Amino acid sequence: MEKNIPTNKKIEAFTVGNDTHYDMFLARFDVLGSLAHIKMLKKIGLLQQDEYPALQKALKNIYQQILDGQFSISEKVEDIHSMVEWLLTQELGDTGKKIHAGRSRNDQVLVDLHLMYRDEIKILVELIDALFALLLKLAEHHKEKLLPGYTHLQAAMPSSFGLWFSAFAENLVDDLRVWKAAFDMVDQNPLGSGAGYGTSLPLDRTLTTELLGFKALAFNVVHAQMGRGRSELFLSYALSATANNLAKMAMDICLYNSQNFAFIKLDDAFTTGSSIMPHKKNPDVFELVRAKCNVIAQLPGVLAGAFGYLPSGYHRDFQLLKEQVFPAIHEMKSCLEIVTLALQNITIKENLLDDEKYQLIFSVEVVNQLVNQGVPFRDAYQKVAQEITSGNFQAPKNIHHTHEGSIGNLCLSEINAKFLEVRKTFDFSYVQKMESLISG
């Protein structure tokens, strides 16, 4: 269309695909990037003093339309970037056409994505905050309540709900480290890299970095361009880490909620009934969390396989990244929210280990008692094994675990401190920069 070459409608539909749908997620970030860009163009003399206020005002109006849900991408244009420029040109004539100076659509997409991913990571980290705090609270509240620990899906040793809840909490600390790496990756400014090879215009990339609140500048323009695909790959590692954590938790909950285990009971609001079996209460919420997260966990492989073997430089393949990553971000936010809500309403069963079928899981306790009395471990093991075989094994009434991270010493404050140490490394001060860009 821009080159006045008629395009076959089928080819156009194929190449555009779902891009305009996903571009709506980028709309407000595209305007923010443009506000920073025109301020820089004014500084280097590519916008006249009377042109800048008109462009700034028009962009702010578009931004407000986006926030109010009154903005859409016309079928006459290809993407969000063309739409914004078309609106500016319609309103301001030649002044609107100047906004693209020093930019390629490639670095415009890149900065939009970096701004969006940075914002989404902030939201996801805040959701992880809430889940982590809840898990530690549940661990503290239920720390005295024992449950069977399993290996090979066989009842193995005593565990506790405190140990179980806090294990997933400490997993979130590890997840947060991966999220920090993803955040650092996208907290770099690619604007000004053009099509990946820079420009002869005297751009001030340091200024746009400051205006957009980026921590760093992606200096090398080819490196900046290669962020397309790599940013999503880093983000997918973080999504996959938390997805793996939630999927495992959901699997446990589905098992523990079943009649054969009956360790916990989900609130009826988080279960569904059967169409023909009136007694059934199915854990559909956690089954869906499990499925959604297992799909998300595959994302790094999908991205590495689909986009990892391209040479440097831009390729249209990258357009499909949005279709893989945007829904995964949405699903992860949804899963974190619903898991946190469901766990607030969970019921824990007490005195589980009083059941006769769990008596043998105390065998290691008896072995350790003998070891503490000076009996060599192998001899103690054989003695207890013989008692079990002969039916003379007597389970102890109490267990005594004291080492760090065990049933009797959960180290919840230490886990919390570790989480906070990682959490404080996230710098979300860019929010103030964004606000000043709109209000200034």
Handedness of CA 102, 110, 191, 211 (dihedral sign): positive
The residue-averaged pLDDT of 347-367 equals 94
Q: What is the chain's mean pLDDT, rounded? A: 93
Dist CA 252 CA 369 (whole Å): 31
pLDDT value of position 377 = 96
**How far is CA 242 from its chain centroid?**
7
Dist CA 324 CA 298 (whole Å): 11
- Per the listing, tokens 């523990």 go with 256
Report the candidate in 106, 84, 18, 11 with the shortest Cα–Cα distance to residue 325: 18
User: Between residues 128 and 19, which one has the greater pLDDT?
Assistant: 128
CA angle (109, 112, 116) in 5-degree steps: 135
CATH code of the region 9-100: 1.10.275.10
Count other C-beta atoms under 10 Å from residue 52's C-beta: 17
Identify the three-state secondary structure at position 291. Answer: helix
Which positions are annotated as active-site residues? 152, 274
Listed by start position, the domains of the chain span 9-100, 105-353+406-439, 355-390
- pLDDT at 278 > cutoff 70: no
Report the candidate in 182, 145, 97, 110 with the shortest Cα–Cα distance to residue 349: 145
pLDDT value of position 398 = 84
- Alpha-helical (H) ranges within 68-195 are 80-92, 94-97, 105-141, 161-186
Interval 130-172: pLDDT, tens: 999 999 999 999 999 999 999 999 999 999 999 999 999 999 9
The residue-averaged pLDDT of 249-276 equals 88
What phi and psi, each to the nearest 5 degrees, are found at residue 384? -70, -40
319, 19 contact by CB (below 8 A): yes
pLDDT value of position 4 = 55
Interval 8-45: pLDDT, tens: 777 777 777 787 889 999 999 999 999 999 999 999 99
Q: What percent of the chain has pLDDT over 70?
A: 97
| Tokens encoding 285 | 């919420």
Interval 199-249: pLDDT, tens: 999 999 999 999 999 999 999 999 999 999 999 999 999 999 999 999 999
Q: Which CATH superfamily is domain 105-353+406-439 in?
A: Fumarase/aspartase (Central domain) (1.20.200.10)
The residue-averaged pLDDT of 184-188 equals 97
Q: Please name the helix (run of DSSP H) or strand (run of DSSP E) that holds residue 222, with its range, or none.
A: helix 221-225
pLDDT value of position 7 = 60
**How far is CA 96 from its chain centroid?**
37
- Per the listing, tokens 């109490």 go with 398
Q: In the chain, count H helices and then E strands.
A: 17, 6
The residue-averaged pLDDT of 247-272 equals 92
Q: Please name the helix (run of DSSP H) or strand (run of DSSP E) that holds residue 188, with its range, or none.
A: strand 188-189
pLDDT band at 3 (very low <50, low <70, confident <90, very high): low
